[in-house]
């Protein structure tokens, strides 16, 4: 086995894992508080990439501005969706949340596909991050290293805020018992809205990071979201650290599968999911099913 190929796939695995982790983290945060599986997550990831593209084309704002503004825009869109639609479904079965967000995803993807077809639009790597390092055993493009490190920082930062700060404590308390937390004078509905906004902003941020690697494509989130669902199920729904760890490790496992048994690389995550569910129905890090 040539080490070149092995490390190359390891890097691709880490990149994919970074996106799995960021997306499943957003899903986990949303699921924890809203009990909704956000089917629109893939479409909003794609929207993030498109916002970056528009900022460059229409306003001349580059990658670094996009990294700040695109998540804000996607987060705002999420807040609007939550305020106008999702909010009406909280008293119903959680399945209706899934169905609603599925419909929203179809609309968003349809609109972009109508405008831009299904071919990718190029988005350049920012000049500061072009080039790469020769590590002797492999060539490491700077931008890819940046994506892995940056998403790791974002994921761990989110984990820190939720698990270690007062704000996070409110959030976790509201997950356990929203009525009681509300009785203590905390504005839970606003917290829910902001949580949804934050969760989808993570998806938008992932979209900006992905734009220079995968190009900007209306269908970029369609199949990705299904894999991310499997990642969330494996990690245990609602578990923050669980989704980060499983996101990165499943990306790496997928990368290695491409080296050793390429035929299974598309299915390996789903096979792992089936095996995990047989042994631990609540997922690796989940508490109850």
The residues of the shown chain that bind another protein, judged by CB under 8 A, are 35, 37, 85, 88-96, 98-100, 102-111, 113-114, 226-227, 229-230, 232-233, 237, 263, 266-267, 270-271, 273-274, 277-278, 281, 289
Query: By C-beta, is 73 or 233 nearer to another protein?
Result: 233
Least distance in angstroms from the C-beta of 17 to another protein? 18
What residue has token string 């734009």? Answer: 211
Minimum CB–partner distance for residue 286 and another protein (Å): 10
Instruction: For the CB of residue 208, give the shortest distance to another protein in the complex, in Å.
Output: 24
In the complex, least distance from residue 30 CB atom to another protein, rounded to whole angstroms: 12
Residue 205 or 216: the one with the smaller Cβ distance to another protein is 216
Residue whose CB is less far from another protein, 135 or 278: 278
In the complex, least distance from residue 53 CB atom to another protein, rounded to whole angstroms: 18
State which residue, 185 or 263, has the beta carbon closest to another protein: 263
- Residue with smaller CB distance to another protein, 17 or 236: 236
Closer to another protein at the Cβ: 10 or 89? 89
* Shortest distance in whole angstroms from residue 14 CB to another protein: 22
Q: What HEC string does the chain produce? A: CCHHHHHHHHHHHHHHHHHHHHHHHHHHHHHHHHCCCCCCHHHHHHHHHHHHHHHHHHHCCCHHHHHHHHHHHHHHHHHHHHHHCHHHHCCCCHHHHHHHHHHHHHHHHHHHHHHHCCCCECCCCCHHHCCEEECCCCEEEHHHHHHHHHHHHHHHHHHHHHHHCHHHHHHHHHHHCHHHHHHCCCCHHHHHHHHHHHHHHHHHHHHHHHHHHHCECCCCCCCHHHHHHHHHHHHCCCCHHHHHHHHHHHHHHHHHHHHHCHHHCCCHHHHHHHHHHHHCCCCCCCCCC
Q: Assess contact for 198 and 29: CB atoms under 8 A.
A: yes
């Amino acid at each position: 086995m040539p080490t070149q190929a092995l490390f190359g796939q390891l890097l691709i695995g880490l990149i994919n894992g970074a996106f799995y982790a960021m997306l499943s983290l957003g899903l986990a945060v949303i699921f924890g508080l809203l009990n909704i599986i956000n089917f629109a997550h893939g479409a909003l990831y794609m929207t993030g990439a498109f916002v970056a593209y528009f900022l460059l084309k229409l306003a001349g704002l580059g990658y670094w501005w996009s990294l700040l503004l695109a998540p804000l825009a996607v987060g705002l869109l999420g807040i609007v969706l939550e305020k106008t639609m999702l909010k009406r479904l909280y008293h119903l079965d959680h399945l209706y949340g899934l169905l609603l967000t599925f419909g929203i995803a179809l609309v968003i993807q349809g609109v972009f596909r109508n405008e831009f077809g299904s071919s990718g639009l190029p988005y350049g790597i920012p000049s500061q991050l072009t080039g790469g390092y020769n590590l002797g055993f492999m060539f490491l493009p700077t931008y890819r290293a940046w994506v892995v490190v940056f998403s790791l920082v974002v994921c761990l930062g989110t984990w820190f805020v939720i698990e270690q700060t007062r704000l996070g404590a409110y959030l976790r308390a509201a997950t356990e018992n929203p009525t009681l937390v509300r009785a203590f004078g905390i504005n839970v509905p606003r917290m829910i809205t902001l949580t949804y906004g934050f969760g989808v902003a993570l998806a938008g941020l992932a979209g900006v990071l992905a734009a220079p690697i995968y190009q900007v494509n209306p269908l970029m989130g369609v199949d990705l979201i299904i894999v991310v669902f499997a990642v969330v199920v494996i990690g245990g729904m609602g578990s923050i650290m669980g989704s980060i760890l499983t996101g990165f490790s499943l990306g790496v496992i997928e990368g290695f599968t491409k080296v050793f048994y390429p035929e299974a690389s598309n299915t390996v995550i789903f096979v792992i999911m089936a095996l995990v569910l047989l042994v631990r129905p609540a997922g690796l890090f989940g508490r109850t099913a």
